[in-house]
Amino acid sequence: MSGARGAGARPASGARGAGARSVSGARGAGARQASEGHRASRAQRAARTLRASESRRDTGAPRASRSRRTSESQQVSQSQRDAGAREASGSQRVSGSRRAKPPSTPKKRSGPSVYIFGAGKVGVALADVIRKIGGKVVLRAAREGLPKRPIEAELLVFAVRDRELPTFATRFAEAGLVSRKTACVHVSGAATAESLAPLRAVSAGVAQMHPMISFASLRRWPSLDGGHVHVQGDPKAVSRARSLARALGMTPRTFPDLDTIGYHAAAGLVANGAAALAAIGVHVLATAGVPPEVAPKMLGPLLHSVADNIKALGFPDALTGPVRRGEPQSVARHLELLRARVPDAVPLFIAAGFAQLPLAKALGEAPASSFDAIRSILHDAATPTASSTTLSPGSSLAPTPSNEQMPRE
């Protein structure tokens, strides 16, 4: 029994030892496997970390490459600019320029070169305007005598009285004051270019250059903008006169075979006649209660509006007032008031009324019978028997016209 147990015990003990060794071996193998698994896991994590790091480096590489390329491009561009600057500098040295010059700005065109002989109202006004447009101008009064040395200007302007033109032209020519480079003109309206004929042989030519503008003062002159200038004479003198007129803002015109006397008479009738009519208007306004010093300030703008209408509309459209509207009653009341208060104005009123009738009829804004009635009123007022229209002693107005002198339709 004991032996059997001992024998049985040894196998059992051996089995248990073998099992223990087996379990221990299994545990050791498992531990080894676990340890190896941990090492493998760490290796995998390290590998992933390495791949991530490499991926980040790969991603940043294009940016770095682009940055390097940009830097290189900037360096090349700067190098090219430096080379261009060196080339430009060399080119300037070759051409004799020491340093780069800024772009030049266009030079302001110089104005006309003019010598004005005669310091009256026209001469003074022209000289002032020529200076204002940048021109070179010399103004010499005729009372100071002839210039002391030859004239160098492109244009010599005689601004003296009509009757003095031939005399001064002869004296200038004989004194050798004008050369072939100077053209000569005068500003008279009635005289032709032939008034300066003595200067033709020694100058660049002669011409008339008449500004149809009303010059009334030595201290103040009107605007020249848009004003008419009649130019007639030798080609070179005409060309320079037209250039000066345009520089002054005026409009030069030439009418072949112009009757200068008739031309000047028309200008005088309008300019001088308008001033005389306005002066009579001041007296009429004074009888109506307007102070004499205020009346010109009222009539000036009125005349200005008439001028604007004439320029823009022409005739007959520029006409306004009771004659245009065909109002005989208004015309009769005006005549009655003038007879009573300013009888010297009656002849002017009658003449102006007759001059308005053809314009009013052309417009046709009233029946023909209305215009006939106005004509009858004016005709009756103009008869010699109308004692109320007799001029007062010493009056400067024209005599009352007779029936034969009145316009007929």
Q: How far is CA 367 from the centre of its chain?
A: 46
A 10 A CB-CB count for 163 gives 10
pLDDT band at 90 (very low <50, low <70, confident <90, very high): very low
The predicted structure's pLDDT at residue 364: 96
Greater confidence, 59 or 249? Answer: 249
Q: Find the mean pLDDT for residues 31-46.
A: 50
The percent of residues above 90 in pLDDT, for the chain, comes to: 66
pLDDT at residue 189 greater than cutoff 80 = yes
From CA 295, how far away is CA 10, in angstroms rounded?
160
From CA 240, how far away is CA 155, in angstroms rounded?
7
Beta-sheet strand order (sheet of 251-253): 136-140, 113-117, 155-158, 183-186, 206-211, 228-233, 251-253
pLDDT band at 44 (very low <50, low <70, confident <90, very high): low
Q: Find the mean pLDDT for residues 276-296.
A: 96
pTM above 0.75, yes or no: no
> For residue 357, which of 348, 347, 370, 346 has the smallest C-alpha distance?
370
- Read off the tokens for 12: 């059992």
Tokens 């030595």 sit at which residue? 218
From CA 122, how far away is CA 218, in angstroms rounded?
8
pLDDT band at 383 (very low <50, low <70, confident <90, very high): confident
pLDDT at residue 112 greater than cutoff 50 = yes
Helix axes 260-287, 346-363, angle to 10 degrees: 110
pLDDT at residue 86 greater than cutoff 90 = no
Report the mean per-residue pLDDT for the chain. Answer: 79
Is 204 exposed, middle or buried (CB count within 10 Å of its CB: 0-12, 13-18, 19+)? buried
The predicted structure's pLDDT at residue 111: 75
Domains of the chain, residue spans: 113-258, 264-405
pLDDT at residue 8 greater than cutoff 80 = no
Identity (one letter) of the amino acid at 106?
P
**What single DSSP character describes residue 201?**
T
pLDDT band at 56 (very low <50, low <70, confident <90, very high): very low
**CATH number, span 113-258:** 3.40.50.720
Q: Give every CB contact of residue 378 below 8 A, 6+ residues apart in sequence.
A: 331, 350, 353, 354
The predicted structure's pLDDT at residue 320: 97
**Of 72-81, 307-316, 320-329, which gets the smallest average pLDDT?**
72-81
